[in-house]
Amino acid sequence: MNKPCKHLFLAATLVATLAACSSDDKPAYVERPVEELYNSANNALKAGENEDAARLFDEVERQHPYSVWASKAQLMAAFALYSDNKYDDAISALDRFIDLHPGNRDTPYAYYLKALCYYEQISDVGRDQKMTRDALSSLRDVVRRFPDTKYARDAQLKVDLANDHLAGKQMTIGRFYLNRKEYLAAINRFRTVIGQYQTTTHVPEALHRLVEAYLALGIIDEAQATAAVLGHNFPGERWYQDSYALLTGQDLEPEEKDGSWISQVWDSIL
């Protein structure tokens, strides 16, 4: 084979090879019936193949954007991402659904699922609680926007749990300061629990820790008033028994005090 022919043959072979590689990398687009695509996505989701399910639901919208299945597929893709613990991607997909379909009958669920994406990421009280605050904001949004739905009822339960978690964070920091004898810093944390998270399970202990801190600083009136509030509202709690023992150990008694901080705050709460 002479040189020119040889060069032409090699060039043709290279083009064919590149075309084959290109074909392998990018499969030909094949449009599938919308019902078939949606059912395939649904089957993948039921099988726990969440990543494939999300991709197939996205394909429903891409191939059939004007069908009645498109909006449902958007929401299901977000659910598949949530099920796969890809919360950031799920939140982005849900925000897009909410923006495009504000009046859709499934929009309340989209808001609820978004709140769950934050709620599932709540970390222990030893860590930063930004995700807890984001969850609380989104859960309250569900309750405010859709008060008569089942999503609002469950969201309210989770609001209470999230508040309890945030109060627990304040208690952890307060105990830390108390153990280090940084009493003023500890008092500020326990006051936050009483002022902002008064319906949580941490309030009785917060009241007792205030009694401890006040006594350590010699602020007797506040210690007595706080113990009185604790005894009046949580008489059966061991925290009241501990506070009572602290006071009587110094020949003091729980006693209401007009003008005390706890009296003013507790009256406003009630």
For 61-120, the pLDDT digits (tens) are 888 887 888 899 999 999 999 999 999 999 999 999 999 999 999 999 999 999 999 999
Q: Answer for the pair 89, 57: CB distance below 8 angstroms, yes or no.
A: no
Q: Answer for the pair 257, 222: CB distance below 8 angstroms, yes or no.
A: yes
CA distance 122 to 116: 10
Measuring CA to CA, which residue among 56, 35, 31, 32 is closest to residue 45? 56
Backbone angles phi, psi at 182, to 5 degrees: -95, 75
Q: Which of 67, 84, 101 is the last residue of a domain?
A: 84
Tally of residues, the chain? 270
Residue 162 counted as domain residue: no
Residue 3 counted as domain residue: no
Residue 213 counted as domain residue: yes
Say which residues have a Cβ less than 8 Å from residue 219's Cβ, sequence separation at least 6. none
Residue 7 counted as domain residue: no
For the cut 90, the answer to whether the pLDDT of residue 243 exceeds it is yes
Residue 46 counted as domain residue: yes
Mean pLDDT of the chain, nearest integer: 87
For the cut 70, the answer to whether the pLDDT of residue 174 exceeds it is yes
Residue 190 counted as domain residue: yes
Task: Read off the tokens for 14.
Answer: 């290279």
Residues 41-58, mean pLDDT to the nearest whole number: 91
CA distance 199 to 269: 10
88 — alpha (psi -120 to 50), left (phi > 0) or beta? alpha
Q: State the helix-helix crossing angle for 220-233 and 261-269, rounded to 10 degrees.
A: 30
Say which residues have a Cβ less than 8 Å from residue 47's Cβ, sequence separation at least 6. none
Q: Which of 66, 84, 102 is the last residue of a domain?
A: 84
Mark out the alpha helices in the chain (DSSP H runs).
3-25, 34-46, 50-63, 70-83, 87-100, 107-119, 130-145, 150-179, 183-196, 203-217, 220-233, 238-248, 261-269
The range of the structural domain enclosing residue 216 comes to 181-270
Q: Answer for the pair 263, 257: CB distance below 8 angstroms, yes or no.
A: yes
- What pLDDT is stored for residue 23 in this prediction? 47
Number of domains present in the structure of the chain: 2
pLDDT above 90: percentage of residues in the chain: 67
Secondary structure of residue 157 in the 3-state scheme:
helix
Task: Read off the tokens for 100.
Answer: 């495009």
Residue 230 counted as domain residue: yes
Give the pLDDT band (50/70/90) at residue 127: confident
Place of tokens 């350590």: 216
CA distance 155 to 117: 12
Residue 64 counted as domain residue: yes
